[in-house]
Each structure stands twice: as structure tokens, then as C-alpha cells.
Structure 1
Amino acid sequence: MLVLAICRICEPIAFMGIFPYVYFMIEDFHVTDDASRISFYAGMVTSAFTFAEFSTGLLWGRLSDKIGRKPVLLTGLAGTALSVLVFGFAPNLTVALLARAIGGLLNGNMGVLSSTVTELVTAKEHQPRAYTIMPVVWCLGSIIGPMIGGALARPCISYPSIFSPGTIWERYPYLLPNLFSALIVLVGVINGFLFLEETHAQKKMQRDRGLELGNWILSKFTGFGKCAESRDEKSKFSDREDEIQPLIDHDEQLPTYRTNENTPANSPRLRSASVPTLPQDSLDLTQSKAHMGVSISKTFTRPVVLNIISFGILAFHTMTFDQLLPVFLATAPPKDHVDTSLPLKFVGGFNLDSKTVGIILSIQGVYQLLINMFLVPKVLKHFGALRSFRFIAIAYFMLYLVTPYLVLLPPAYRMVGLAVVLAWKCTFQTIVYPSNAILTADNAPSRLALGTINGVAASTASLCRAFGPTISGILYSVGLKTGYSGLAWWSTALVAIGGAVVGLMIPDSATRPSSHDDQIATPDDDVEVAQPSRA
């Protein structure tokens, strides 16, 4: 999990790092003279990644079921590194959109990571803690990313004594934070190649030269153990075990002394016991062959489909908040007088610079990190995944109703109100996503189908994340022009209400009767093991 977490932290740094300066980046591209339309183009930049990720999410999920999780994860990280480099050199909006699309096309890690965690953590009592590790890592990345993005963007303006005008830093003012992100992602690729162990039931037994190299490197340092045994080492260990095993068990009778009445053919008890117990790897292969014959309808059962739909709706409105908030914080109050008619008609923004926006987003990440570590596991353990998910899904819409009214607070209380809203948002978001992941894993008919299920879920979420920023950007622009700056927020509240309706339809996996067709029998099922008689 530690190695996986190091791979995971690279992506939020690269993804969240653009939010503090994307508003100013669009300004520098001079694509529009209308300040109210900047939010629309900022939404396009965010959506380019998620639209592309949607188009390949299922492909990467299915590919991870065939070739393993590790190569797909490493490919996704490499695609992220390429994306941020191109984005840093973007001279115009077209190249920026292309760079983000490259990252989305080559990155299917969201669904594959969920499958990997599920394969690593099989005990239900460990799920509340385990499923919060990746959100904790995302929080760490969301602290570092915005902080670095806000601090390093436009260095010639922020640090003129260090970055002099006329250099590459003035020509490409957003290159420096993206170089930092690319370096972090490169560290993640190297870490994954050397130390990440394959978790796929079949592919984990194949030889991993990268893992062997990582073990060799660790062997040069005292105090470090191996990441995992390679296939050759496991085979050698198995061979040594075979050499020391007696040819005949001490409880087994010699063939000469067996009678016909005690043979498996004549004894139902011994006949059932004669079924050999397959080793785990053989069992995984048997389950994989059985799963290959399972139809799509048996893989995507009603609970699985409802979980995917609720995940998509959740991704839509949470991504909308994440994209709207920096724009909302950077929006300047209107120069011309706009008629105000409360409670609906009003216009305003916080008018903050990129550094301040980055600091606010980083503080938000710190809070998320703390509650992920100390609050979320206890909540999930006490209330369970389903009840936690349903409660938050029902209450989420109120957050979007309240947020636009922050600009109406007295200036001295605006930051206090913003802190309350961010704490509210972070608490809900950090509980609801692990809850949905646990529900998806519990409702999956087979663990060997997790790559496909999570791939579809990731594609659905990516599509919703793509539409969310674009639609909200359009509505925000319309709201600023018409005097209803809360329009985008209130529309998002309606989407959250729809998510609550779907969430209430998800059945409890603990009480749901399991279909016989969904279960894959193991050799130990309904087998009575005969104990040798010493009579």
C-alpha cells in the first residue's frame, strides 16, 4: 500500500496544480475580452482531461484484467508526465486542451487503482481503514499541487529578482509548476517499476524484472527487506518444500492394506474427500476461466449498475464544486452597477490572486488529510458504508445552495464563512467516496471482474466530470451576465438531489440474496474431508 500510495500521490499534484492559475492562464491566452467567459474556457481545460479519460477508461480497465494492474498503472503515470510537460509549454488554448487530452487518453488509473486496493485488502474489517488510504494520499497531493501551482506560476512576476524578464520563464509563465509536477510523476514511475507488486490473480505469478531489480537495490542497504518474492524465488521455495515432504503421509495406509469397502468408489465419505484441494493460484485460474464465461448481465448486476450511476452523479457535482471554487474566488466584483434583488439576484466574487487561491486550496487539503486519518475510518466502521453514503447523498445538495451566498457576508466574515463551507465540503467528500468504493467492491459478483467494473465506473465518472466543469462554466458565465451568480451552484444542487434518489435505491449487500450463478464454487465447497481411521 505504501508503494501504491507513492504512485498515487503524483496524479493529484499534477491534476490539482493547475487550479490556482488556470483562470489567469486563460487571461494570458487572450481568447476573450469578456471576463465573464473566462470561466467557460477554464471549464473546457478541466473537461478536456476527463472527456479523454472517459473515452479510454473502459479500455484500460479491461486491459488491466488481461495484462495485469502494474503495467497499466505505470503507463498512466507516464502519460501524466507527458501531459504536464506539454501543458507547461502551451502557447495557446488549443495546445493546452491537447495536452490535457493526452493525459486523459493515456491515464486509466482511477479504476485500476480501485481494483488494486480491492485485491490487496480482502478482509471486511480492514476495509474502512484501507479505503481511506488512497483518499489520504489524494489529500496530500491536493495540498502540494495547488501550493506549488500557485507559488511557481508566472515566476517572472512573483519572483523578478530570481527569474528575470526575457527568459524562457516569461515566454512560458506556467512551465515551472509543470516541470515540478513532471519530476514528481517521474519519481512515481521509477518507484512503481522497482517496488510495485502485481496484484492480479493470474499475472502476479509472472516474472517481474523490475521487482527483481528493486529487490537487488534494497539488498544493498541494510535494514531493508524485499518488496516481494519474484516468481523464480517462489518456485525455488516451492521446490525446496517438495524435497523435504515425505512421499507417503504418515497417516496414509499402504495400498496393500486397503480394502475395497474403504475405496473412494464404494464410500461416499471418502469419495467426497478424494477431491483434491487446489492451491490458491490454481483456484484463481479456475475462477478466471469461470468468470470469462460469465455474461455482461451477470457482471453488471442491478446493485453494480446503481453504484456506477451514483458514482457518476457524485463525480459530476463534486468536480463542479472543485472547478467553480477557484473561479469563484478569483472573480472580481462587477465594475458596472448590477441590480440586486435578494434572495436570488446578486453578483460577486472574492477577487483573490493565484497565490491566495493556492494557499486556500492547500489548507483545504490539510483538513481533508486530518479527517481522512482520524474521522472517516471511525464513521465507516460505526455506521457502515451504505448508511454513510445514503446520509451524505441526501444532504449534499444543501452545500451548493449555501455557497454562492458567501459573497453577501460582511468582508470581515467572508473568510470564516468560506472556511465553514470548505470544511463541510471536505467532510462530505472524504466520507462518500470510500463508501461508494466499498459498496462497489462488496456488490461485485467476482473479484476477477473488478478491472472491468471499475473501468466502466471510471469512464462514467470521467464523462460526468467532463460535462460538470463545462456546463457549470457556461452557467456561471450566464449567471454573471444576468445577475444570478448562484445559477451554476443551484443547478448543481438539483444534480445532487438526483444522486440522492439513486443512492436510496442501492440495496444492502449484507442482506441481498446471492445468486447461485454469481458465485464461483471452490473445491472446498460442500466437501467433507475424511480423517484417516486408525482402527
Structure 2
Amino acid sequence: MVQVSDMSFKEQMQGFPWQQILVISLVRLAEPVAFSSLFTYAYYMVEDLGVAHTKAEVAKYAGFLASSFAFCQVLTGVFWGRFADRNGRKPTIIFGLCGSIISVLIFGFAKKYWVAFMARCLMGILNGNVAVVRTMLGEVAKEKKHQALAFSVIPLIWNLGCVIGPLVGGYLSGKETSISFMKEFVMEYPYARPNIVIASMLFFSVTVALLFLEDTHYAHKYRHDYCLEIGDKILAKFSGKVKLRPWQSKFDEESEESIPLQELIDEDTTNAKGPNITEETSSDTQELNVEPPPSIREVLTVPIFSAVFSIFINAIHVVVCEEFTPVFVSTPVARDDNGELISKFPFKLAGGLSYTTAEAGFLLSSTGMFSVTFIILVLPHINRKFGTLTIYRMFSIPLPFIYFAVPFAVLLGNHLTLASWMMYAICVMRTMCYNLILPQLNVMVHTSSPPKQRAFVNGISISFSSAARCAGPFIWGFIMTAGQAHDIVWLGWWAISLLACVGIYYSKNLTDEDQTEVERAGEVRLET
């Protein structure tokens, strides 16, 4: 068998499911925009809502807003997984997008902190699309040579959203506008405009999902989808050729294995070529043989637990850095009564860099644009040249040093242009590392799991990741607040530097052995 590293780029891309992945990407794009747009104006929104008594407390309350979303995702992740298994991937995606529309509008018009907090909670409760999108990518990209590229779509779309989101949040938030008839509205609701734009983008995603997204669930893809038929007619006007949909033929033309988010479907049914269902017999009331899901103890072998725990560790320091970087740079430069910098090398570090919302937005957007370019042009070549585990270990090493350097930017408070260049360099290096290590972890979770239990393991990894995204901002909100209050801004940043070191050390337990190949080899030995 030809190894991926021995293939040319053209050979690797042969048969890649571009059309389906493009639709999934368009559907997914608006959600990271909604998530990342908050970062640029969180500092100022918390200040305007009047909940923080001192400037040092702003980071804590901004952290609460971030962690509330992830906490609610942890609570509802299993429910949405079962919902997607029972009702299909497409309805789950559409419901989650509609929930996000409602949530961002409530958040944008919030005039009390508790309303904004509840809106973020609602967004986490009503949206379980992260796990569903990851499962759909696994269902459309079955060949090993396509897996790394398919899973890299997740950080690609995330970074593209992180280009658009901060621009929308940075340039549309605040109480200033050049449009005369909107001045009164903007003064009353300074954070409504970015969220109205994001709600419009989410509505576009709903439209794309209705018209062009095909359900990848092994049984529900045979349901007659009238919206998809309309979308096919639209595509036919431009391309003249549309592929046959599953319900339009008696038998599925492709041998597809679709593993549900929760491993509830009978093994024989799941591994089948596809149910022999016509339009007349594909009803929602069809009985399915079910078996209880495996216990967590049965599933979490050492390689699987190591991969999932590595996701947990990395998710903490990644989300803390992403969410507190704009808070850090938006904090005013700390000066004494004589106008001199309070910060002194090496340990007395206070304040920030006095960025405006637009400047913070441009910092995140420009580095996000670099990430998108990097993923498209560089990541495929690195994936072909090095193994999954090698890439993960190689690009985890710079992260502790990057985090360690961040707080020293305050020493350049009298030279803000130089400080900005330093922050741009730091953000570019860290996003490059993120985009190389996170897809490798997803691939390792996928390959270290037995095929029959991959969906269940995927659900566990999503829960661990969401728990990290909840705990990280919540805990570091207090740490960052304490650091600002005592002129030791380095406290929070050096803490995540230490956490990144733990992740590097723990990588010795990881493996990139593919359990599918192991099981196939075992079957061959049994047959002989």
C-alpha cells in the first residue's frame, strides 16, 4: 500500500470530496465569526455594562462570558449527539444555526450583564454543531490519504472566521458612527451592529444548509429532501449536471459506512452498505435495532485517553490565549502619577497596550488571515512529509516560549509601534503552531479508536474540549485579574506556558497507530 508520504499532492487529492466539504465549510463559517467577534470588544462591553468595580476585574467578567458558552456546550453535547443520531445531521445543524441567530441578537441588544451572560449560555445550549460537523467530515472523507486534509478544514474555517469576526466586532462596535440617522441607535445599543451582521451571516448559513447540505447519516440520507432538490435545480442551471441523491435510486451507489455520534446502532446495520429504502418506505418511524453504548472504561484505552487528555490540555491554553490576548492589549498602559511606566523588568509587569477595538480586531484578523494562507499553502505539504505524531511534537515545543514572552510587551509602553510588531510576531507564530498541532490531535483521536467506537470517542473528545474551554477562561479570569491587581501580569501567561510544557511531556504517551489497519491485519491472520 502506498504511504501518504510517498504520494504527490495530485495523487493525495484524487477523489477528495470537495463539493460536500465546501458546503459543510460554508455552513460552519458563521459560527466562529460569532464566537470570535466578541473578543475585540469584550473589555469595553464589560466596562459599559458596569458590572466590574475596577479595571482589574474586567478580565474576570470577560472570562465568565467566554466560559458560560463552553459550559453549556458540555451540558448539552451528549443530547445533541443523540438528537443527530435520531433525527439526522442536517436538522441538527439547522436547529443549531437558528439558535445562534436568536442568541447573538439578544447578546447584541443586552443592556445588563446578566442578559449578555444568559445569551452566551443560550448559544451554548442550542448549538451542538461542532461535534456534528466533525462527524460529517469523517463520513465524507473515508480514505486515509484524505483524513488529515479533511480534519484541517475545522481549523481553516475557524481561522477564516477569526479573520472576519474581529473585523466585524472591532469596526462596528462602539458608540461612534459616521451615519447620522444611526447615531441615536448606536448610542443606545453600541454592540448591536456587529451582532446584526453576524445574525445575517448565520441566516445565510441556514439557507445554504437547507438548499445544498446533504445529510450524511446512514439512514436519514434516504429521506426525500425537497429543499435539497430545489438546491440541485439551482446548481443544474449553472453546472448542468447534478449527482444522483440516495433517495432517487433504490440502492446506494457508494459503499459508505456512517458511524453515528453515539454508537447506538446495531453493528450489522451500521456496517451495511446502506438500507434498501425507497422513497415510499423511508419513513421516520422505521424501527432500528439498538444496542447499549460501550462504557467509558471499555473505550478509554491508554492511547485513546492520552489523545483525549492532550486535547483537553491544549484546548485550555489555546482558548485562554485567544480570549485574553485582546483583553490584554486593550488594557491601558500602566503609568504612575508622573506619567512613567510602572512596569520594570523582569517581574513588575502591569497594564496593557491601550489598543482600541479596531486595533484589537485588526490584530486578530491579520494573524487569522496568515493562518488561512498557511493552512492552504503549507499544511498539506507538511502533512505529506512528516508523520502525525512528529508534527504534533515538533510544533508544540515553541508554544511555552511564545506564552512566556507575551507579558514583556508592556515594557514597550513608550514605544507602542514596536510593541505592536512584537504582538503581531507572537500571534503569527502561535497561530502557525495551533494550526499544525490541533488537526494532528483530531487525527490521532480518530485513528487510535476502534472503528466501531469512533463516534463514541469523538463525543468524549468534544466533551473534554468543551470542558476545557469552560474551565480555562473561568479560572484564568481570576488569575489575570490577580495579576493586574498586583502588577504581575506575567502570572496568567506563565501559567499557560507551564501548562503547554505539561502537554509536551505528556505527548510521550501518544500513538499514531491506525486501529483500522490493526483490526484488518487481525482479520487476515484469522482467515489464514
Using the size of structure 1 for normalisation, the TM-score is 0.82
Q: In structure 1, which of residues 170, 185, 188 is the aligned counterpart of residue 187 of structure 2?
A: 170
Alpha-carbon distance between aligned partners in 2 of 1:290 and 1:509, rounded to the nearest angstrom: 30
CA distance 1:427–1:290, change in 2 (3 Å) = same
* Cα separation, partners in 2 of 1:373 and 1:414, compared to 1, 3 Å: same
Shift in Å at residue 217 of structure 1?
3.8
SS in 2 for 1:96: helix
Aligned partners of 2:446 and 2:458 also within 8 Å: no
**Fraction of identical pairs, as percent:** 29
Instruction: Work out the CA distance in 1 between the residues paired with 2:235 and 2:379.
Output: 34
Alignment correspondent of 2:389: 386
Instruction: Tell me, yes or no, if structure 1 residue 280 matches structure 2 residue 295.
Output: no
Where do residues 271-420 of structure 1 align in structure 2 (5 Å cutoff)? 280-281=273-274, 294-336=294-336, 340-409=343-412, 410-420=415-425
| CA offset digits 1:361-394 (Å, max 9, x no partner) | 1101110111010111211221121111122334
Query: Which residue is equivalent to 2:250?
Result: 235
> Structure 1 unaligned runs (5+)?
239-277, 529-535
165, 186, 195: which is aligned to 2:212?
195
Select 1:483's aligned residue among 478, 483, 487: 487
Give the aligned CA root-mean-square deviation in angstroms: 2.8
1:501 to 476, 497, 505: 505
CA contact (8 A) 1:197 1:228 kept: no
Distance in 2 between residues matched to 1:282 and 1:223, nearest whole Å: 30
Shift in CA distance, 230/217, structure 1 to aligned 2, threshold 3 Å: farther
2:239 aligns with: 223
Cα distance in structure 2, aligned partners of 1:188 and 1:374: 26
Hey, what's the Cα distance between the residues in 2 that align with 1:354 and 1:227? 46
Q: Which moved more, 1:62-71 or 1:488-497?
A: 62-71
Q: C-alpha separation between the residues in 1 aligned to 2:206 and 2:92?
A: 11
- C-alpha displacement of 1:306: 1.7
Aligned to 1:33: 53
Alignment of 1:29-108 (within 5 A): 29-108=49-128
The answer to whether the 8 A contact 1:211-1:230 is kept is no
SS of 2:180 mapped into structure 1:
coil
State the structure with bigger RCO (CA 8 A, min sep 6), 1 or 2.
1
- SS of the aligned residue for 1:183 comes to helix
Spell out, residue by residue over 1:246-270, the C-alpha distance to the aligned partner (whole angstroms, 9 max, x if none): xxxxxxxxxxxxxxxxxxxxxxxxx
Query: Separation in 2 of the partners of 1:279 and 1:464?
Result: 36
- Residues 65 and 443 of structure 1: CA distance in aligned 2, closer, same or farther (over 3 Å): farther
Separation of aligned partners in 2, 1:162 and 1:384: 58
Specify the structure having the higher radius of gyration (Cα). Answer: 1
Give a deviation string over 1:61-81, Cα, whole Å, max 9, x none.
Answer: 233233332222222211111
Structure 1 residue 312 displacement after superposition = 1.3
Residue 360 of structure 1 deviates from its aligned partner by 1.2
1:308 positional shift? 1.4
Counterparts in 2 of 1:204 and 1:527: CA distance versus 1, 3 Å: farther
* Residues 1:215 and 1:466: Cα distance change in structure 2 (over 3 Å): same
Deviations 1:327-350 (A, max 9, x none): 111010224368655322221311
| Residue 14 of structure 1 pairs with residue 31 of structure 2 | no
Is the 2:444–2:511 contact (alpha carbons within 8 Å) kept by the matching residues of 1? no
- How big is each residue's C-alpha offset from its partner over 1:98-144, in whole Å with a ceiling of 9 and x where there is no partner? 00001101111112211111111111112232222232222221111
- Counterpart check, 1:445 vs 2:462: no
Matched, 1:460 2:464: yes
* Normalised TM-score (structure 2): 0.83
2:15 alignment partner in structure 1: none
Letter in 2 for 1:387: T
1:291 and 1:118 map into 2 onto residues whose CA distance is: 22
For 1:513 and 1:120, the matched residues in 2 are separated by 19
Matched to 2:441, the amino acid is N
Q: Which runs of 5+ in 2 are unaligned?
A: 1-20, 254-270, 277-287
Please list the CA deviations of residues 147-170 of structure 1 after superposition, one character each: whole Å capped at 9, or x if unmatched.
Answer: 01111112x4133535223xx332
Measured in 2, the distance between the counterparts of 1:506 and 1:303 equals 6
